[in-house]
C-alpha cells in the first residue's frame, strides 16, 4: 500500500557511530512514501464518510434500554461520523497537514460532545451516555485528549488565541454538562478533572516555549465582547484608555495555568474533607466508597506544592516579582496545611524580608502571624520571640487588647516556667535594624571632636510610639559597645519606687564603676531604671574620658532580657549613620543663677542633622618649644653633638620624656644615636627629662654618628609630656601624653678622601738573596694619598696600616718600612680643607705555595684617628677612627721574574752596566732568547742577539754594557727576552720590571737621565 519497492524494503542497522546518519537517510528516503500513504489512506476514509446518510434522514437505531447490559450496541450514524473524522484528523497530523488536522479534530470534538447530552440535537429525544459508566468515562477521557490535540495543533501554527479559546470552550462545556449531571463544581471529581486540564495545558505550553514559541504581549491583544473568538490587534489599535484585559481571555505564560491547577487542587482537597465530614457525621465512617477511599490516599498537599513550585519558577523566569512573593506565601500555606512547619517557616521568612523592606505592613502582619504559628508548632522558640517583639511595633494597626496579648505572650515565653522549661538556656540576638522596632534609638555626642583626658558626654535617646508597648516593659540590662572595649558600659535595671509617668525622662549614667561582670569582663557598671512606657522619650546620659587619639565610636546598643533559661539581646547597630533630616538635639537641665538645676529638662538644637555616634579624639596643642643647636654639615664617623633646649610654656609644671630617632634612606642603616648615659643603634626611647617647671627650660645633649654613606639624615625629636596634676601614681602611660615633634635635616659629608697606588718593587742586587727554599718573595710599594675635603679643620693624631690575617697559610705579608715610624709618637697635625698627606709603605709578600695562590691578596685596613678641631662650646668630643679598606694586591702569576737594575746617576762618556736578574720559579729549565735594540743615545757593547738557559729554581744574571753619548732624559736600549714555547709552541715575551721606575706600557721603555760629563759650579 505504501508504494515501496520490495527490493528497497530490507534495511540493515549500521554500527552505533553511524546510527544518526542512518536515521536521517532513512527519514529522507521514506518521507515522500509516507506522505503518499497517509494521503491515500485519508482519502479512502473520507470517501467512506461521504457515503454515510445524513443523520436527519437516516433511521435511528435506539440503543438498548438496559444501560447495564454488556451486549455490544450498534454504532449510530453520528458515531461513524465521529470515527471517520478522528481517523482523518490523525492521518492529517501524520502527514503534517496541521490546518486539516485541526478541522477534523474540531469536527470530531463537536460530535463527541453531543454524545454527553441527554437529548442530542442530532438524535432528538434519544438518551446519551450513562453517567459515571465506563463508556462515559472513556468518552470524557477521549474528549480531553482531543481538546489537548487541538490546543497543541494551534500552538504549532502560532495561533495562541485559538488554543486558549479551545481550552476555555472545553472547560465551559464540560462544566455545564457536569452541573447538569449532578457531578459539578461541588464534587472533588470535578476539581480533580479541572486541575488536570490546567496542568496538562501548562505542560504543553512550557514545552512550546522551550522549543521557541513566544508568549504574546498582553498589551497588544484586545477582545470584543460580541464575539467568542479572540484575535490579535496591533498596538496602534489598542483598546481605549482605562480598559482592562481579562487574563483568561489572553494566553499567559505556563506559570499562570500551573497556579490555576494548584488552586483547583486545593479546592479538591476541601471538597474531599467536606465529604469525609458528612460521612463521619452519619456514623458510617468505616465504610467509605471505593472512589472516595482512593481519593483519600492522594497526597493533595504535596501535589499542590509541586504545582505552586512550578508556577513560582515560571513567574520568576518571566520577571513576575510581586507574583513570586504571592506564590511563595501560597507554598508556605500549603506546607502549613501539610503540617510541614519548618519548610513553611522558611518560605515565610523569605517573603517577609521583601515586604518588610518595602513597607507592606498589612501583608507583613499576616505573614508574621502565620510565621508565629509555624514557629510554635515546630518548637523554634528563638523565632517565636523575634516575631512577638516585631509584632509590638506601631506600624501594625491592631487593637490595644491585641497588643497586650502579644506582650503577655512574650513575657510568658521568657519568664514563665511552664514554657521556658521546654527549652535549654538559649541566647538570642535580634537585629532591631532589620525588623520593625517598637522603639527608635538615637545617639549623640555633643561635639564632633574632643581632646585626650577631657571628660566627654554622650546621650542615648529611646522614643516609643503612643500605642506601644501597651504595658510598661522592663528590660534586665542595657549594654553599650564602643570600638574600644575600655569604654563599654553595662547598666542593670533598678526598680523605681515612685511611678514615673512623665513623657520625657533623663537617666544619669555618668558616675559608673569599673566592675567585673559575668560574661562581659571588666566594664563600666551602674544600676538605673530600664522601664519603657508608651509615648515616652527616655534619655541616658553618660560620660567617657578618652585616653588616646583616634576615632572613638559607639557601635552597638543592646537592650536585653535575662531569665533562668533565656538571654535575649535586642541589638541596635548605630555604627552606620542614618540619613534623616531631623535636627540634632541635646537634652539638658536649665540652670538658675545660683547654679541649681531646674527639674524639668528641655532639648536644645545642635549643629547638623541625624545621629553622631562617633567622635574624633585628638591631642591638645603642645605648649612646648624645642630649640636645636648644632654645627652642620656633620662628618662621617664623628661624634656629632646636638644640643637641645626644651622650654615649658604650660602654666604648670610638666613631666617629660624624650624620644629621638635617626631616619635614613638606607634600609639597613648603621647610624648611631646616643647620649652620655645611653647607647643604642638608631633611636633613643623614653629618655626621662624629669620635671620641668613652668616657663623654665631644660638642656640636653645627644650625639649622632653617621656611617658609610653621605646622604641626608633626618633627626626626629619627640617630646612627650603631661602636666603634673594629671600624672598618675601608677607607671607613666606616656602614650596618652601630649606630644611635640620636631624634625631636623642634617647633611653628612666625608672628612677626607683616600686613594691608593700599589707598584711591584725589585730587590737591590747588593742585598740579593739566593733561593734557599721554595718560598717566593715579592716586594710592593704602597702609597696612600689622603686629602682633607671637609669644610672644618680636623686634628689627626695617628695613621696606621693594620695588616689583615691571611685567609690561608700560603702567604705572609709584612711591612718592611714606612714613611711614618711605627714606634713614633702621635702626629697631632691639623689639616685644613684641601690638605694632602701621603703615607708610603714597603710591603714584602712571602708566597709559601705558589701553585694554590689566587691572583689577589688582601693587604689590610688604613686607620685614621682624628676629630674635628673646631670646639663645640664646652662640649668635648673624643678622637674617633675612620677605617679605609686598602685595595687587594693584584699579582700577575708568572713562571719567570725578570728584574732590571739600572745604575743611578749615569754620566756622559762613562760606561755603565744594566743587570737583568732572571728567576726561574718552575721545576723545569727555561730557554731565553735575548734581543737588544740600540738607539742613538747609546753605544751598546756585546751581542745584539743571544740566548741562555735558566736552570730550575735558580737565578741567572744577564748584563749589558751601555755607553751614553748625550746628556738629558733618554730611553735606554730596549731589551726583549722571549721564553721558548713548550712542544713547539710560539715564544712568549717575558715582562721586565725595574724597581723605582714606572712600568712601561706597550711600546714604551724605561727612561733615564744622563748627567753631563762636567758639572756646572756656582
Q: Are 422 and 442 in contact (CB under 8 A)?
A: no
> What is the predicted pLDDT for the residue at 124?
47
Distance CA 641, CA 638 (A): 9
**Interhelix angle for 98-116 vs 160-180, to 10°?**
10
Q: How does DSSP classify residue 55?
A: T
- Residue scoring higher pLDDT (572 or 828): 572
> What is the predicted pLDDT for the residue at 283?
66
Q: What's the pLDDT band for 85 if we cut at 50, 70, 90?
A: very high
> What is the predicted pLDDT for the residue at 459?
94
Which run of H or of E encompasses 147?
helix 134-156
What CATH number does domain 752-890 carry, 3.10.450, 3.90.25, 1.25.40, 2.60.40? 2.60.40
Distance CA 107, CA 168 (A): 17
Q: What's the pLDDT band for 276 if we cut at 50, 70, 90?
A: confident
Average pLDDT, integer, range 431-438 = 92
> What is the predicted pLDDT for the residue at 774?
58
Average pLDDT, integer, range 129-139 = 81
Phi-psi region of 20 (alpha: psi -120 to 50; beta: other; left: phi over 0): alpha
> What is the predicted pLDDT for the residue at 239?
42
What count of other Cβ atoms lies within 10 Å of the Cβ of residue 786?
20
Q: What's the pLDDT band for 386 if we cut at 50, 70, 90?
A: very high
Peptide bond into 324 cis (omega under 30): no
Q: How does DSSP classify residue 593?
A: T
> What is the predicted pLDDT for the residue at 554?
94
Percent above pLDDT 90 for the chain: 30
> What is the predicted pLDDT for the residue at 271?
87
> What is the predicted pLDDT for the residue at 471?
92
Distance CA 762, CA 781 (A): 10
Lowest mean pLDDT among 167-171, 199-203, 334-338: 334-338
- Residue scoring higher pLDDT (985 or 11): 985
Average pLDDT, integer, range 388-403 = 92
> What is the predicted pLDDT for the residue at 67?
44
Could you tell me the three cell numbers for 346?
Answer: 522558611
Distance CA 673, CA 700 (A): 13
- Residue scoring higher pLDDT (276 or 344): 344
> What is the predicted pLDDT for the residue at 560?
94
The tally of CA atoms less than 13 A away on the side-chain side of residue 58 is 17
Helix/strand/coil (H/E/C) assignment for every residue in 506-570: EEECCCCEEEEECCCEEEEEEEECCEECCCCEEEEEEEECCCCCEEEEEEEEEEEEECCCEEEEE
> What is the predicted pLDDT for the residue at 458?
94
Q: Is the pLDDT of residue 359 over 70?
A: yes
> What is the predicted pLDDT for the residue at 768?
47
Peptide bond into 469 cis (omega under 30): yes
> What is the predicted pLDDT for the residue at 576?
84
- What is the secondary structure of 417-467 as a DSSP string? HHHHTTS--EEEEEETTSS--SSEEEEEESSSEEETT--EEEEEEEE--TT
Q: Is the pLDDT of residue 71 over 60?
A: no
Q: Which residues pair with 676 in a beta bridge?
A: none
| Strands annotated E in 310-439 | 426-431
Distance CA 611, CA 448 (A): 11
Which run of H or of E encompasses 668?
none
- Residue scoring higher pLDDT (140 or 811): 140
Q: Where are the domains of the chain?
A: 1-56+75-158, 179-217+225-235+245-338, 426-590+598-618, 624-748, 752-890, 896-1010
Q: What's the pLDDT band for 184 if we cut at 50, 70, 90?
A: confident
Distance CA 71, CA 707 (A): 125
Q: What's the pLDDT band for 224 if we cut at 50, 70, 90?
A: very low
Q: Is the pLDDT of residue 233 over 50?
A: no
> What is the predicted pLDDT for the residue at 69?
47
Hey, what CATH topology would domain 896-1010 get?
A: Immunoglobulin-like (2.60.40)
Q: What is the CATH number of domain 426-590+598-618?
A: 2.60.40.10
Distance CA 746, CA 724 (A): 34
Q: What is the pLDDT of residues 998-1013, one digit of tens each?
A: 778 777 888 899 899 8
- The average confidence (pLDDT) of the chain is 82
What count of other Cβ atoms lies within 10 Å of the Cβ of residue 63?
17
Q: What's the pLDDT band for 954 if we cut at 50, 70, 90?
A: confident
Lowest mean pLDDT among 119-128, 535-544, 545-554: 119-128
Q: What is the pLDDT of residues 730-782, one digit of tens each?
A: 445 566 688 888 999 999 999 989 999 887 776 554 444 444 455 677 788 88
> What is the predicted pLDDT for the residue at 482?
94
Lowest mean pLDDT among 17-26, 634-643, 905-914: 17-26
User: Which range, 206-215, 218-227, 488-497, has the best average confidence (pLDDT)?
Assistant: 206-215
Q: How far is CA 814 from CA 372, 766, 886, in A?
A: 101, 21, 14
Average pLDDT, integer, range 491-498 = 81
Average pLDDT, integer, range 461-483 = 93
Q: What is the CATH number of domain 624-748?
A: 2.60.40.10
> What is the predicted pLDDT for the residue at 852?
55
The separation between CA 781 and the C-alpha centre of its own chain, rounded to angstroms, equals: 67
Distance CA 728, CA 68 (A): 112
Q: Which three-class secondary structure state does DSSP give residue 289? A: coil
Q: Do domains 426-590+598-618 and 624-748 have the same CATH topology?
A: yes
- Residue scoring higher pLDDT (854 or 512): 512
> What is the predicted pLDDT for the residue at 995?
77
Amino acid at each position: 500500500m505504501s508504494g515501496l519497492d520490495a527490493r528497497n524494503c530490507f534495511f540493515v542497522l549500521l554500527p552505533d557511530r553511524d546510527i544518526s546518519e542512518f536515521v536521517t537517510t532513512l527519514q529522507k528516503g521514506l518521507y515522500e512514501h509516507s506522505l503518499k500513504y497517509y494521503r491515500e489512506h485519508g482519502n479512502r476514509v473520507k470517501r467512506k464518510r461521504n457515503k454515510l446518510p445524513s443523520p436527519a434522514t437516516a433511521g435511528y437505531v435506539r440503543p438498548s434500554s438496559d444501560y447495564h447490559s454488556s451486549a455490544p450496541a450498534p454504532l449510530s450514524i453520528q458515531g461513524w461520523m465521529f470515527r471517520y473524522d478522528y481517523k482523518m484528523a490523525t492521518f492529517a497530523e501524520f502527514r503534517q497537514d496541521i490546518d486539516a488536522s485541526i478541522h477534523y479534530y474540531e469536527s470530531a470534538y463537536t460530535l463527541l460532545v453531543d454524545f454527553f447530552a441527554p437529548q442530542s440535537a442530532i438524535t432528538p429525544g434519544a438518551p446519551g451516555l450513562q453517567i459515571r459508566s465506563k463508556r462515559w468515562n472513556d468518552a470524557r477521557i477521549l474528549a480531553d485528549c482531543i481538546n489537548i490535540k487541538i490546543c497543541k495543533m494551534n500552538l504549532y501554527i502560532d495561533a495562541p488565541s485559538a488554543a486558549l479559546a479551545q481550552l476555555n470552550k472545553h472547560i465551559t462545556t464540560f462544566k455545564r454538562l457536569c452541573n447538569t449531571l449532578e457531578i459539578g463544581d461541588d464534587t472533588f471529581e470535578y476539581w480533580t478533572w479541572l486541575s488536570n486540564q490546567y496542568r496538562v495545558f501548562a505542560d504543553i505550553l512550557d514545552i512550546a516555549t522551550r522549543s521557541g514559541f513566544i508568549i504574546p504581549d498582553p498589551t497588544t491583544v484586545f477582545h470584543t465582547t460580541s464575539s467568542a473568538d479572540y484575535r490579535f490587534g496591533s498596538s496602534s489599535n489598542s483598546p481605549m484608555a482605562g480598559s482592562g484585559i481579562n487574563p483568561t481571555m489572553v494566553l499567559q505564560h505556563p506559570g499562570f495555568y500551573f497556579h490555576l491547577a494548584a488552586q483547583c487542587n486545593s479546592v479538591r482537597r476541601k471538597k474531599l474533607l467536606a465529604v469525609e465530614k458528612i460521612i463521619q457525621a452519619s456514623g458510617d465512617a468505616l465504610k467509605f466508597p471505593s472512589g472516595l477511599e482512593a481519593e483519600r490516599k492522594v497526597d493533595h498537599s504535596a501535589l499542590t506544592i509541586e504545582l505552586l513550585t512550578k508556577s513560582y519558577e515560571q513567574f520568576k523566569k518571566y520577571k513576575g516579582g510581586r507574583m513570586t512573593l504571592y506564590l511563595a506565601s501560597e507554598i508556605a500555606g500549603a506546607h502549613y496545611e501539610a503540617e510541614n512547619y519548618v519548610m513553611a517557616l522558611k518560605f515565610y521568612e523569605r517573603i517577609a524580608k521583601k515586604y518588610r523592606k518595602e513597607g507592606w505592613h498589612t501583608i507583613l502582619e499576616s505573614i508574621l502571624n502565620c510565621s508565629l504559628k509555624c514557629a510554635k508548632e515546630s518548637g523554634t522558640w528563638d523565632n517565636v520571640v523575634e516575631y512577638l517583639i516585631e509584632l509590638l511595633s506601631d506600624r501594625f494597626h491592631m487593637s490595644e487588647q491585641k497588643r497586650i496579648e502579644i506582650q503577655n505572650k512574650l513575657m510568658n515565653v521568657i519568664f514563665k516556667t511552664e514554657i521556658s522549661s521546654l527549652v535549654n538556656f538559649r541566647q538570642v540576638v535580634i537585629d532591631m535594624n532589620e525588623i520593625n522596632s517598637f522603639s527608635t534609638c538615637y545617639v549623640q555626642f555633643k561635639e564632633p571632636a574632643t581632646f585626650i583626658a577631657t571628660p566627654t558626654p554622650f546621650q542615648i535617646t529611646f522614643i516609643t510610639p503612643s500605642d506601644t508597648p501597651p504595658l510598661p516593659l522592663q528590660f534586665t540590662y542595657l549594654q553599650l559597645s564602643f570600638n574600644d572595649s575600655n569604654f563599654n558600659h553595662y547598666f542593670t535595671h533598678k526598680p523605681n519606687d515612685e511611678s514615673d509617668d512623665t513623657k520625657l525622662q533623663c537617666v544619669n549614667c555618668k558616675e559608673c564603676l569599673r566592675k567585673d561582670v559575668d560574661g562581659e569582663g571588666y566594664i563600666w557598671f551602674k544600676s538605673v531604671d530600664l522601664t519603657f512606657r508608651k509615648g515616652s522619650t527616655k534619655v541616658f546620659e553618660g560620660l567617657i574620658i578618652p585616653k588616646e587619639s583616634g576615632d572613638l565610636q559607639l557601635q552597638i546598643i543592646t537592650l536585653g532580657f535575662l531569665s533562668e533559661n533565656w538571654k535575649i539581646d535586642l541589638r541596635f547597630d548605630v555604627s552606620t549613620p542614618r540619613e534623616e533630616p531631623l535636627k540634632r538635639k541635646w537634652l539638658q537641665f536649665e540652670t538658675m543663677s545660683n547654679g541649681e538645676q531646674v527639674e524639668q529638662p528641655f532639648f536644645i538644637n545642635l549643629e547638623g542633622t541625624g545621629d553622631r555616634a562617633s567622635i574624633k579624639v585628638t591631642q591638645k596643642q603642645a605648649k612646648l618649644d624645642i630649640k636645636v643647636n648644632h654645627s652642620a654639615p656633620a662628618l662621617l664617623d664623628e661624634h656629632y653633638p646636638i644640643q637641645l633646649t626644651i622650654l615649658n610654656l604650660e602654666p604648670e609644671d610638666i613631666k617629660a620624656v624624650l624620644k629621638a630617632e635617626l631616619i635614613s634612606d638606607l634600609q639597613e642603616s648603621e647610624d648611631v644615636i646616643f647620649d652620655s648615659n645611653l647607647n643604642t643603634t638608631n633611636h633613643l626611647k623614653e629618655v626621662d627629662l624629669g620635671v620641668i617647671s613652668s616657663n623654665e627650660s631644660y638642656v640636653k645633649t645627644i650625639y649622632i654618628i653617621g656611617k658609610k654613606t653621605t646622604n641626608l639624615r633626618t633627626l626626629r625629636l619627640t617630646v612627650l609630656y603631661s602636666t603634673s596634676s594629671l600624672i598618675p601614681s601608677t607607671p607613666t602611660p606616656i602614650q596618652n601624653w601630649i606630644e611635640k615633634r620636631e624634625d631636623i635635616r642634617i647633611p653628612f659629608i666625608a672628612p677626607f678622601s683616600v686613594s691608593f697606588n700599589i707598584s711591584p718593587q725589585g730587590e737591590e742586587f747588593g742585598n740579593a738573596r739566593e733561593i734557599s727554599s721554595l718560598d717566593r718573595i715579592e716586594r710592593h710599594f704602597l702609597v696612600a694619598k689622603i686629602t682633607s675635603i671637609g669644610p672644618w679643620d680636623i686634628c689627626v693624631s695617628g695613621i696606621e696600616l693594620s695588616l689583615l690575617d691571611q685567609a690561608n697559610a700560603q702567604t705572609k705579608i709584612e711591612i718592611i718600612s714606612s714613611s711614618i715610624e711605627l714606634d713614633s709618637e702621635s702626629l697631632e697635625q691639623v689639616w685644613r680643607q684641601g690638605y694632602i698627606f701621603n703615607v708610603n709603605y714597603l710591603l714584602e709578600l712571602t708566597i709559601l705555595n705558589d701553585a694554590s695562590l689566587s691572583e689577589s691578596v688582601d693587604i689590610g685596613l688604613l686607620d685614621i684617628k682624628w676629630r674635628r678641631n673646631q670646639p663645640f662650646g664646652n662640649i668635648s668630643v673624643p678622637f674617633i677612627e675612620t677605617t679605609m679598606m686598602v685595595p687587594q694586591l693584584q699579582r700577575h702569576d708568572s713562571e719567570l721574574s725578570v728584574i732590571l737594575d739600572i745604575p743611578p746617576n749615569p754620566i756622559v762618556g762613562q760606561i755603565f752596566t744594566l743587570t737583568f736578574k732572571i728567576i726561574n720559579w718552575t721545576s723545569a729549565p727555561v730557554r731565553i732568547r735575548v734581543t737588544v735594540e740600540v738607539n742613538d743615545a747609546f753605544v751598546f757593547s756585546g751581542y745584539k742577539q743571544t740566548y741562555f738557559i735558566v736552570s730550575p729554581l735558580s737565578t741567572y744574571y744577564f748584563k749589558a754594557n751601555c755607553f751614553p753619548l748625550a746628556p738629558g732624559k733618554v730611553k735606554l736600549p730596549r731589551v726583549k727576552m722571549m721564553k721558548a714555547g713548550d712542544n713547539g709552541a710560539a715564544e712568549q715575551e717575558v715582562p721586565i720590571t725595574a724597581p723605582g721606575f714606572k712600568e712601561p706600557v706597550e711600546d714604551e721603555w724605561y727612561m733615564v737621565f744622563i748627567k753631563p760629563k762636567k758639572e756646572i759650579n756656582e
